[in-house]
Chain A
Amino acid sequence: MNLSKILKNGFLILVASLVLTACATQKKTTGQLEGDVYSGSESVEYLASGVPDRVFFATNETVLTTASRETLRTQATWLRKNSDINVVLEGHADERGTREYNLALGERRANSAKDYLMTYGISSDRISVLSYGKERPVDSGSNPLSWSKNRRSVTVKAN
């Protein structure tokens, strides 16, 4: 009786853990890609020493990754120190979408960066948002790596 119960429970744990593994999204890190978010630094420029200007997004996503949040926190710190500087957040999408939807997507990406900066104390008066959709890619290639570089929100000094 007891043995069978232990066996049964053991079996259940096994099944449950198998089921749980199904939840984990596979994150392959191949060179400069983490999942399909760009993690390299090729196209990245700097607002100031150690302050990268852009964050990257997954396909069709507007959620900030851990790395993006770190970048934005650095930007927020820098913006707090340089309170005379205003910025424009330029949102972009890759070429794998319709033009009009991509304009909206770029706007949403730039805004998710803006919201994050605001939670770190940057006044919304200092941030404006501009979406380019798929109109201004940094990388003109037609491959997943190029596309990942283009899915971005770039912080640009406005004055």
Chain B
Amino acid sequence: MILRYLIILLILLPIKAFALIEVDITRGNLNPLPVAVSPLSIDKESKNSFKKILKRENVGAEISIIVENNLKQSGLFNPLNKDAFLQKPDIANLKPRFEDWNLIKAQALITGRVTFVDEKLRVEFRLWDVLAGKEMMALAFTTVPSNWRRVGHIITDKVYERLTGEKGYFDTRIIYVSEEGPKTNRIKKLAIMDQDGFNNKFLTLGNELVLTPRFSPTNQMVTYLSYFRNLPRVYLLDIETGMQEVVGDFPGMTFAPRFSPDGKKIIMSFAKDGNSDIYTMDLENRIVERITNHPSIDTSPSYSPDGKYITFNSDRSGYQQIYVMSSNGKNVKRISFGNGLYGTPVWSPRGDLIAFTKLHKGKFYIGVMRTDGSGERLLTENFYQEAPSWSPNGRVLIFYRETKTNSKGEGFSAKLWSIDLTGYNEKMVKTETDASDPSWSSLLSN
């Protein structure tokens, strides 16, 4: 009897394995992930020390606010209201009571502790999977206290990377042109700030017109256009030393500069006798090389991340379109074929997409297309916006937008905006003054 039973079981088992029911889950919600950012705990002594140095009431709580704002800004996370938190920060950091965090529907939890050690700020933080009841990550850093905002950004980068699988973009800076004054005579200065708008600093005084700054890959140098002495030329500025120099020895206007991905060259347009072509200059040996040679306007060049290709803007077809060529100027190929005019192509740091500005039927769009021109997607439409710049992870674009003025010329403003590749998460980037021509740095740490 028992034997028979066993035989039946043996026969049934493989059948059972075959008959495993599969259910395909192809849909889910696209709501941002609910995250609880518990304030970083801080002991009394450390708190007082930081208060003296930084003039901040509670650095722990403020760092967690930076993390919260960053996560929210990304559009991928929904930081939960702190009022609903049941557990105290110090205890949560040791051993979260997951049921409590589950109750407020948090799926991930960030806890941490700030201490003052040897005149330095030490932060440890942990990321918890609330539903699985597990620790996902734990890290600690030490830094000088004045770097406290960056600590918040670095924590966000680590959390973002752990939860999304791609690198973050929060410990970064934006260089841009600060604008003031009437539209007919704007005063423009180079300015630099953290990605979230804090720590703003001006790099020029506004005595001459400056435009289109771009970071070098290491974020040490900036190349930009200055009208110093009414001679529009591409300049190079060392952010650390403040040294400036003209790039190249051109007998005419040079403009639209960018760095090559290895930081060794500057690529730009040089205009002469009504014709703009693309040139490069090697920063080491100062050798100038002509890349395009065509009677049309060729401008807004941008290298692919591997440095093998260049995308640029040309009106050789009669209208502004986007082209791709080898970095030596050979194999020029038009890639934009949609309706309207296309400008400012920028190669994504991931290499798969080209962002651009499009003008069609009196509207300006920021969009992306694959590097062969297929898969064009327009992310945002407005009266006037242009000049996208990629976040270092290739997920977000920052650009500037100008408003329409009335017949008296009132109501003009220029602001920075960001949008991610989904096209849904559009946010204004806070700046002290009006702003334009943003350029995103690469990650400062790592």
Contact = CB atoms under 8 A, between A and B. Distances in A.
Interface of A: 60, 62, 95-101, 103-105, 107-108, 110-112, 115, 129-131, 135-143, 146
B183 interface: yes
A140 B184 contact: yes
Contact of B387 (A98, A104, A131, A137): A98
Interface in B379-418: 383-384, 386-387, 402, 404-409, 412
Contacts of B357: 98
B271 A103 contact: yes
26 contacts: A60-B319, A95-B402, A97-B343, A99-B436, A100-B300, A100-B344, A101-B299, A101-B300, A103-B232, A103-B299, A104-B271, A107-B253, A107-B271, A107-B274, A111-B273, A131-B253, A131-B271, A139-B184, A140-B182, A140-B183, A140-B405, A140-B412, A141-B405, A141-B407, A141-B408, A146-B409
A142 B405 contact: yes
Contacts of B255: 100, 103-104
Interface string B202-231: 000000010110000000000001000010
B271 A98 contact: no
A98 B232 CA distance: 17
Given A99-B436, A101-B297, A110-B274, 15 more contacts: A95-B384, A98-B357, A99-B212, A100-B212, A100-B256, A100-B299, A101-B315, A104-B297, A104-B299, A108-B275, A108-B297, A111-B273, A135-B186, A140-B182, A141-B407
B269 interface: yes
A141 B407 CA distance: 5
A104 B344 CA distance: 13
Nearest to A108: B274
Contacts of A136: 184-185
A100 B184 contact: no
Contacts of A60: 319, 341
A96 B209 contact: no
A95 B404 CA distance: 10
Interface residues of B, number: 48
B99 to A, nearest CB: 55
A135 B269 CA distance: 18
B276 interface: yes
B207 to A, nearest CB: 15
A142 B383 CA distance: 10
B300 A98 contact: yes
Interface in B311-366: 313, 315, 319-320, 341, 343-344, 357, 359, 362
B437 interface: yes
Given A108-B275, A111-B274, A137-B183, A98 B386 contact: yes
B186 to A, nearest CB: 7
A62 B274 contact: yes
A146 B256 CA distance: 26
Nearest to B357: A98
B384 A96 contact: yes
Interface in B220-259: 225, 230, 232, 252-253, 255-256
Nearest to A145: B407
Contact of A98 (B252, B319, B344, B412): B344
A142 B183 CA distance: 11
Greatest chain A CB density within 10 A among B209, B225, B271, B405 is at B271
B384 A130 contact: no
A115 B274 CA distance: 10
Contact of B269 (A62, A104, A137): A104
Contacts of B402: 95
